[in-house]
Amino acid sequence: MKKFTLLAAAAALCVTTLANAQVPIRYFDLPKFTQAPTLDGDRATVADEWAGALEFNCSPSQIQLDGQEFGWRDQANESSEVSTNQLNENGETEVAGEGRTDADVSSVILQAWDDDALYYLTEVSDNIRDTEGGGEARAWWERDSMSLYLDMNNEDHPGGDPTGEYVNLNVVNFMAVPFGSNELSVCYITTVQNQRVDVHDPDAIEGFEYGFRDAGDEFGDEGDADYVIEGRMEWDTFLRNGNLFEAPTTGSEMGFTWLLVDADGEDAYGGQIQCVAWAGGNQSEFANWVFVDTPAGPSGTAVEEDSWGRVKETFIQ
């Protein structure tokens, strides 16, 4: 049963202009693993390995649903109050009509935690795999990958990318290549003395790892570039790099949003989807995990995003 609770005034969210729309503050219970998953990119390796995990759909069609439910910042450009379609029409590499649709790229994201780490598994349907080239070596935003933006201590700072007021920027990017197959397969963006720092040093990011699987056309009818990333991010790694005050426990809260990068053969930035919340730097607009002890894993019970999602009865401009 859907557990979203809205004030009557929330009906005003279904508008098409920024002037009238408001950003909902959303909370999602993050279940706890009874058994850590095997990082092989296959949720079926162990029966019910990801049962009970928090689940999101990250796709152009989901953005349309988000706009209908929460309102639009820019409907013409498919930007809802909680997500945005920033994919490109890559005419030289894509079939006409596929760009910016689910045939271009879409994904499902599962999430859970335990006392040692944060975990996710994403199954991506992609028409073109592009993990090479780009304008500069460190530019993960120019290669197929999944990025997790975190407000580690739930500080809700309004600064960030647009203003350069970096306070607690944390991004973990896993590229759509086998883990460790190149030195850029993992990138950790963190904050040091109010400056953004991109970290690739193996010692610094030890504890961030993932399993990768080339899935062919398993998740979609268009193309054969589907893939799976199954990641683990240890709390000790976040603590060691200085931006997490203490490892979360039951009842802790943490801001987050997801960014699915889809380059599609471009020489530089090729497009992306921002899912669940905007990742533009204003951390007060991030969604929020609430760490709970509801079991996930082989003894868990499957839980959809709608079953856990909650909206506070207040909204911010």
Phi, psi of 179 (to 5 degrees): -55, 130
pLDDT at 95: 81
pLDDT at 317: 43
pLDDT at 161: 57
The closest of 307, 306, 274 to 59, measured between CA atoms, is: 274
Phi, psi of 308 (to 5 degrees): -105, -20
pLDDT at 16: 37
Q: Which long-range contacts (CB under 8 A, 24 or more apart) does 69-75 make?
A: 69/13, 69/14, 70/13, 70/21, 70/24, 71/12, 71/13, 71/14, 71/15, 71/16, 71/20, 71/21, 71/22, 72/15, 72/16, 72/17, 72/21, 73/18, 73/21, 74/18, 75/16
10-residue mean pLDDT profile of the chain (317 residues): values are: 33 37 89 97 96 98 98 97 93 80 96 99 96 78 94 83 69 97 93 85 96 96 90 97 93 97 79 93 91 90 46 44
Residue 46 and residue 313: Cα distance in Å, rounded? 39
* CATH class of the structural domain 24-88+103-307: mainly beta
Q: Cβ distance 254 to 154 under 8 Å?
A: yes
